[in-house]
Chains A and B, each alone.
Chain A
Amino acid sequence: MKAVERRLMNEVPLLRRHLQVSTVLALVGGGLVVAQAALLAKVLADGFAGYGADGAAVVVPAAVMGGRALVAWVRGFLAQRAAADAKRALRDRVTAGLRRTNPLRLAGGRHGETATLLTRGLDALDPYIVGHLPTKAAVTVVPLVVLGWMARTDWASALVVLMTLPLLPVFGVLVGMHTAQRTAKQWELLSRLGGHFLDVVAGLPTLRAFGRERHQVGVVREMAEAHRRATVRTLRVAFLSSLVLETVATLSVALVAVPVGLRLLGGEVELEVALTVLFLAPEAYLPLRAAGAAFHDSAEGLGVAEKVFAVLDGEGRAAEGALPVPGGGRVPLSVDRVTVRYPGRAVPALEGVSLSVRTGEHVALVGPSGAGKSTLLALLLGFVEPGEGRVTVGGVDLAQLDAEAWRERVAWVPQRPHLFAGTVAENIRLGRPGASEAEVRAAARAAPAEGFVAELPDGYDTALGESGFGLSAGQRQRIALARAFLLDAPVLLLDEPTAHLDVGSEG
């Protein structure tokens, strides 16, 4: 088992149970395969010998066949359910991981790749869970059961099967190693395509303004073409692999069948034994052939699992303390000789900075762009951890506070606030989901956003597109101010709230 598979089993324990259940079902299935072969061989041999077949001779093989079909159905049903449960568990884990990730780092991340991973990406695990794992269970059990019965029936044929069985995994591994590289390349191209497409859509107004949208259409077309070529290359290898495995399996069955046929003609074996061997021989190779096909289908899923673990292991987890916020947040704030260095930046964003804010005091931070003003706000929010020094809230280190409880006491209006697809009222109500209509209106009045909201087609019920599409930058900022007002938090952090507001609204 590969390291990524072991990790997958540990992260999603239900997969281990799925493998165990699949093994039990494979054992039952293997027993039914042997029973079916033995019963059919007896019925046919008796028929050739001129013995009349009684009712039981027909009913019992039919019941065994029905049992095989039932086992196959149960196996498929449980596998589909395990796949759905496993994907949901991983989506929950990734989403929870992203929630814990430092918001500033998250904002700078590759959203397209993450979105692809959480949607289409995780679906690639289906072939691994539905196909590969049950087949893997069958590979470990069915050939042994079949081989055991063959050895009991005709040891010479069993010996031939025993010697030819390893050929399939050997050829499978040789081709599989090649496929793994191809699949990794294919996934990388798909992720890049998804990320780039999302960037292009988000930046379409800017691209149109500069007349570059046609160029981007060409870029997306080139990337899609590269992905198509990679997919075809992967499929070509997968089909070649199937051809190799099928050929080896067919030749192996022939190596068993031809000697048995000759021995039957020479009178060395009975018809019932020969028929049992002929029925069982293909069944011994079947799980290995299926495993070969499932391996190629599952390779993409394992590549996706590695990406999921990379997200889960990602750096930038915000420190999480457990202490309650002193004084409910109505306490002095202090930044004490703090130095902040962003990864990959030679110059620190802040170096030895100290700042004290008394309870209820209104402090403005001014300075040119890049001076570190927004980083100071990020420090107070707990989005950035100081490399040196400390940030305290009422004398308690911010890193030791319950981060979620602290942020409930901080109303933050970023420079470019994000509005979600929903109505104006819903966007304001994000500050306090239970707020009444009157409270929403009061917050809008304080922002002040009431004037332009009244002019919107449906007032507070006007639906906004993603990122507040339909509103100007200043209007979006006022919605965000109303949101902050509604939160009614004791600490208010504003990042250039006047950047998009006209002078009349600053009073």
Chain B
Amino acid sequence: MAELMRGRTVVVVAHRAGVLPHVDRVVEVSPAQRVAVPGWA
């Protein structure tokens, strides 16, 4: 997976945070407001 993502702009939908160790930033999409807010890096 790391090789696949290397050098590319990647947006990945994950069913839970932390399952993909190769991401720079996690953005949480909230169902209540449906607004993406900056998460943790």
Contacts and interface: CB of A to CB of B under 8 A. Distances in A.
Interface residues of B, number: 34
Contacts of A495: 12-13
- SS of B interface (majority): loop
A371 to B, nearest CB: 4
A194 to B, nearest CB: 34
B30 A494 contact: no
A498 B16 CA distance: 10
Contact of A366 (B2, B4, B10, B28): B28
B12 A365 contact: yes
Nearest to B3: A446
B4 to A, nearest CB: 5
Contacts of A384: none
Task: Count chain A CB atoms within 10 A of each CB in B5, B10, B21, B33 and give the residue with the most.
Answer: B10
A349 B28 CA distance: 15
Given A354-B36, A446-B3, A491 B9 contact: yes
Interface string B4-41: 11011111111111011111111111110111100100
B12 A359 contact: no
- SS of A interface (majority): mixed
A364 B17 contact: yes
B34 A366 contact: no
A186 to B, nearest CB: 45
Interface residues of A, number: 54
Contacts of A493: 10-12
Contacts of A41: none
A63 to B, nearest CB: 78
11 contacts: A353-B36, A355-B36, A363-B11, A363-B23, A363-B27, A364-B26, A365-B28, A376-B36, A492-B4, A493-B10, A506-B1
Given A355-B36, A365-B27, A492-B10, 20 more contacts: A333-B11, A351-B34, A353-B34, A353-B35, A354-B35, A362-B10, A363-B23, A364-B27, A365-B29, A366-B15, A366-B16, A371-B31, A373-B13, A485-B4, A491-B11, A493-B11, A494-B12, A498-B14, A499-B15, A506-B20
